[in-house]
Chains A and B, each alone.
Chain A
Amino acid sequence: MPEEKEFSEQDSLQLIAEMIKKAKGSYHDTGIGSLLWGAVVSIASFMSYLQREYNFTLLIDIWWLVFAAIIPQLYISIKEKKNVKAKQYDNDVVNAVWLVFGISIFALSFFQNIVPVQTEKLFAQDGFTLMKHYTDGRVDEVIKPFTPSLYSIYILIYAFPTMVTGMVKKFTPMKVGAIVTYGFFMLSLFTQSKYDMLLGSASALVCWFIPGIILRKKYLAQITLNV
């Protein structure tokens, strides 16, 4: 770019627009994070559904896979951060939303595990217990407290950061994924919890895995162009 070339006001405006466009178009998500989480959550949810549908138990809790995925995610984040040559303003917003999402998911999993145990203890202190009463004459059973249809809440939470990311980044596949997931959430209110798992698996696919494939394709196409 020659420094002292005479240029008109019109040229100035054109240059500003061109540079802003270049800066905005410089960031391309690699899509790896979306693919990773889409695959992991989808597999974990689908396996949970299969276990309930066909009454079998795996040697380990499949949801540990989700916790384990934090390690490659950290590696990906550090590696991607090193390669970024220009920091975008909206990345801070998107990163904050996903951080809050991660904290919320962990908090919800604690809620899921702690509340039933504590509820049972409190009920015991008050001298009563929950019973399952059959209307067909079978003998009543003692049951442990549980949160009905909790996986619906997970599905609802999956949609939230996806929609924000889609809106901030103006990335339609994520917006569509989030809208479909809100639909799955509504549907899950009427289904048995095992089918909620199946809907959760589908949610992870539409929210993250499919947008991840699109992001990856775009990223690879951009890399090819730059070579």
Chain B
Amino acid sequence: MFKELDPILHSQLRLAIMSLLISVKEAEFTFIREKTNSTAGNLSVQVQKLKEVGYISVLKQFKDNYPQTTCKITPTGVLAFENYVKNLQVYLKVGK
């Protein structure tokens, strides 16, 4: 009955990133850092992990001579997030 919660998503910062990205079409790295109150270093590591498993896509480009990193959730990421929420609901129902 219990499905193990996705270990990639069951991490505070990674879940926060995914929750932000599921709500918007795409977001800049600075936006995610500001909303999650995280450090640039920690956020970079977690963004990289999410990218490696294919949950998000990362686009690095230059805008007005400044580097700009844009993150976007992928269809795989959407599916993983939906499954995570479904499993979470199962846990919470049983826990009641």
Contact = CB atoms under 8 A, between A and B. Distances in A.
Q: Do A and B come from one complex?
A: yes
Interface of A: 1-5, 7, 9-13, 15-16, 18-20, 22-24, 26, 82, 85-89, 91-92
| Max count, chain B CB within 10 A of own CB: residue among A10, A12, A20, A26 | A12
Interface of B: 5, 10-13, 15-16, 19-20, 22-28, 30-31, 34-38, 42, 45-46, 64, 85, 88, 91-92, 95
A16 B85 contact: yes
Contacts of B24: 23, 26, 86-89
A144 B30 CA distance: 62
Given A9-B5, A9-B95, A20-B22, A87 B27 contact: yes
Given A19-B23, A24-B23, A3 B11 contact: yes
A92 B45 CA distance: 31
B16 A15 contact: yes
A19 B35 contact: yes
15 contacts: A1-B16, A1-B37, A3-B12, A5-B12, A15-B12, A19-B23, A20-B23, A26-B35, A85-B27, A85-B30, A86-B25, A86-B26, A86-B31, A87-B26, A89-B25
Nearest to A91: B25
Contacts of B34: 85
Contacts of A89: 24-25
Interface of A (DSSP majority class): helix
A41 to B, nearest CB: 30
A153 to B, nearest CB: 34
A86 B69 CA distance: 11
Nearest to A1: B38
A1 B27 contact: no
Given A19-B19, A86-B26, A3 B42 contact: yes
Contact of B23 (A9, A11, A23): A23
B20 A23 contact: yes
Given A12-B88, A24-B23, 10 more contacts: A3-B11, A9-B88, A11-B12, A12-B10, A15-B16, A15-B19, A16-B15, A19-B36, A23-B23, A85-B30
Nearest to A3: B13
Given A1-B16, A1-B37, A15-B15, A85 B25 contact: no
